[in-house]
């Protein structure tokens, strides 16, 4: 087949008129000029950019401005707005506005007219995205995975009903922000974000918020995975009824499922694997088995997953299941997807920046576990500080919230404390009916909080169940004083 014949279909496509329906555009605008109720219904479906004809975009913009000033929308007010902006003649004059009204069969069908306009706009954006993707492929980029990520992002934005963001006027932003703050102020104790179930932490942060990157850092075995999975992810899914995605780069999905099951049932996982489980434990496990599958928790255990592949999978989950929270365990095991052999710091910086970008793109909180450098071990006071974040200062820069986990018992064990080891062994070997778990006091140190206070929250870590509680809740549950 000749090159000319292979190119012919593409040439024909480029000569075609883009998808549009001018009659639907006219009917939409005409209905808005006639019926005040039609204005709000249309504004919920279309924007000015959805109109194909430039004159129609200008008229819609004038209607929007009149509506924003809470003035009645009609032929007179919209005509005056266009005249004030010196746009009336450019759109066809008052005669064209009269013609738009005459074009409306009935205002009762405004939703259908608007949907047609919006659907044609989506098709035009698909054509634009296809051309951009084609151009990207013809550039023959070295990083094919990155090119795939960019192509998928273009399509995802269209599927989500939004294109690349444009400038927003401060008036609308301030109005929306004021309404939100007014709502919060009227509801004492209201959490504007997703709750974690850790009361004091939720009071300080007001929950986990959309678009935020939250870092939970600590030395190995401090309980980062337990906090991410058995507290934050499980509470969001089971108690707050939110779909949650977990990217587990260290543990397999089966290990994570066992952890969730034992955490929810409050059963000692080590005793379970040793066959020392009591009848009471099995009852709680059976209840958890019936409860957890009803929750929307989605686990991906791809080891050393690239940040581009993670974003791709997260986009699909967002599209299919509208996930409200993403947990990643943990940051240093993710791959930047490029060639960073000479600069591990650069790769971690790329991963941190991409995680923040993913939070904003999907409009969900992204909670990420992170390791700490060994510098903390060299100090007398081993409580972490921001400079202890492993391998890159950009983690601190990108994060909206940085929390450190600290447990004094961790360092007591490292010193070989016989008393601590004896307590741990006794807790394992003593039948559940005879044991009262002692709380391991942990500190959750909020070291950076872009939108609120910093400080330290005291928690009780139940190592047998691998779950954190408030100290009061632990003592009530275990009758500890």
Q: Which of 6-15, 121-130, 442-451 has the highest mean pLDDT?
A: 442-451
Average pLDDT over every residue of 285-310: 85
Overall average pLDDT of the 414-423 stretch: 55
pLDDT band at 355 (very low <50, low <70, confident <90, very high): very high
Residue with the larger pLDDT of the pair 106 and 217? 217
Confidence (pLDDT) at 120: 92
Average of per-residue pLDDT across 430-439: 50
Confidence (pTM): 0.65
The average confidence (pLDDT) of the chain is 81
- Percent of residues, the chain, with pLDDT higher than 70: 81
Which pLDDT band, with edges at 50, 70 and 90, does 70 fall under?
confident
Domains of the chain are 13-140 (1.10.860.10), 186-478 (3.40.50.300)
pLDDT at 326 over 90: yes
Q: What does 158-194 look like in DSSP terms, one character per residue? A: HHTT--S-----HHHHHHHHHHHHHHHHHSTT--SSB
Give just the sign of the alpha carbon dihedral 382, 383, 387, 390: positive
Rounded alpha-carbon distances, angstroms, from residue 36 to 69, 71, 73, 454: 14, 10, 6, 49
Query: Of 27-36, 259-268, 389-398, 410-419, which range is least confident?
Result: 410-419
Which residue has better confidence, 330 or 429?
330
Contacts of 129 (CB under 8 A, 6+ apart): 154, 155, 158
Measured CA to CA, the distance from residue 311 to residue 314 in angstroms comes to 5
User: What are the tens digits of pLDDT across the range 270-290?
Assistant: 777 777 777 787 888 888 888
Convert the pLDDT of each residue in 377-387 to its tens digit: 888 888 888 88
103-113 pLDDT per residue, tens: 888 888 899 99
Span 156-167, pLDDT tens digits: 777 766 554 555
Q: What is the mean pLDDT of residues 76-84?
A: 91
Residue 248 backbone dihedrals phi, psi, to 5 degrees? -105, 105
- Angle between helix axes 75-84 and 54-68 (nearest 10 degrees) is 110
CA 294-215-410 angle, 5° bins = 90
480 has a pLDDT exceeding 50: no
Task: Find the range with the poorest average confidence among 23-37, 84-98, 336-350, 413-427.
Answer: 413-427
């Amino acid at each position: 087949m000749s090159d000319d014949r292979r190119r012919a279909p593409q040439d024909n496509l480029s000569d075609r008129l883009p998808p549009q329906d001018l009659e639907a555009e006219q009917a939409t605008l005409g209905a808005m000029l006639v019926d005040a109720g039609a204005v709000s219904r249309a504004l919920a479906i279309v924007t000015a950019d959805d109109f194909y004809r430039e004159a129609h975009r200008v008229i819609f913009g004038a209607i929007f401005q009149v509506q924003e000033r809470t003035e009645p929308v009609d032929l007179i007010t919209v005509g005056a707005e266009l005249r004030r902006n010196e746009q009336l003649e450019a759109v066809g004059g008052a005669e064209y506005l009269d013609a738009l009204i005459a074009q409306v069969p009935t205002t009762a069908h405004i939703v259908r007219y608007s949907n047609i306009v919006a659907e044609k706009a989506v098709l035009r954006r698909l054509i634009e995205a296809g051309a951009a993707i084609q151009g990207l492929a013809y550039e023959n980029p070295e990083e094919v995975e990155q090119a795939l990520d960019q192509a998928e992002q273009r399509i995802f934005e269209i599927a989500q009903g939004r294109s690349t963001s444009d400038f927003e006027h401060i008036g609308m932003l301030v109005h929306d922000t004021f309404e939100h703050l007014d709502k919060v102020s009227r509801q004492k104790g209201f959490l504007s974000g997703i709750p974690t179930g850790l009361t004091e932490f939720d009071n300080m942060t007001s929950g986990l918020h959309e678009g935020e990157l939250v870092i939970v850092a600590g030395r190995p075995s401090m309980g980062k995975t337990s906090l991410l999975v058995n507290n934050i992810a499980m509470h969001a899914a089971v108690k707050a009824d939110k779909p949650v995605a977990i990217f587990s780069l260290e543990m397999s999905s089966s290990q994570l499922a066992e952890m969730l099951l034992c955490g929810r049932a409050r059963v000692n996982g080590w005793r379970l694997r040793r066959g020392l489980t009591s009848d009471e434990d099995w009852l709680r496990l059976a209840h958890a088995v019936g409860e957890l599958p009803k929750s929307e928790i989605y686990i991906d255990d791809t080891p050393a997953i690239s940040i581009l592949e993670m974003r791709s999978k997260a986009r699909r989950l967002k599209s299919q299941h509208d996930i409200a929270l993403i947990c990643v365990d943990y940051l240093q095991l993710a791959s930047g997807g490029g060639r960073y052999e000479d600069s591990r710091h650069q790769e971690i910086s790329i991963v941190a920046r991409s995680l923040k970008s993913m939070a904003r793109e999907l409009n969900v909180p992204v909670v990420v576990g992170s390791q700490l450098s060994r510098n903390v071990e060299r100090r007398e006071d081993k409580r972490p500080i921001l400079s202890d974040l492993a391998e890159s200062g950009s983690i601190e820069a990108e994060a909206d919230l940085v929390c450190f986990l600290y447990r004094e018992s961790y360092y007591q064990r490292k010193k070989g404390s016989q008393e601590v080891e004896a307590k741990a062994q006794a807790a394992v070997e003593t039948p559940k009916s005879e044991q009262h778990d002692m709380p391991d006091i942990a500190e959750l140190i909020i070291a950076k909080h872009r939108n609120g206070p910093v400080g330290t929250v005291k928690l009780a870590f139940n190592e047998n169940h691998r779950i954190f509680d408030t100290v009061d809740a632990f003592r009530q549950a275990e009758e500890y004083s």
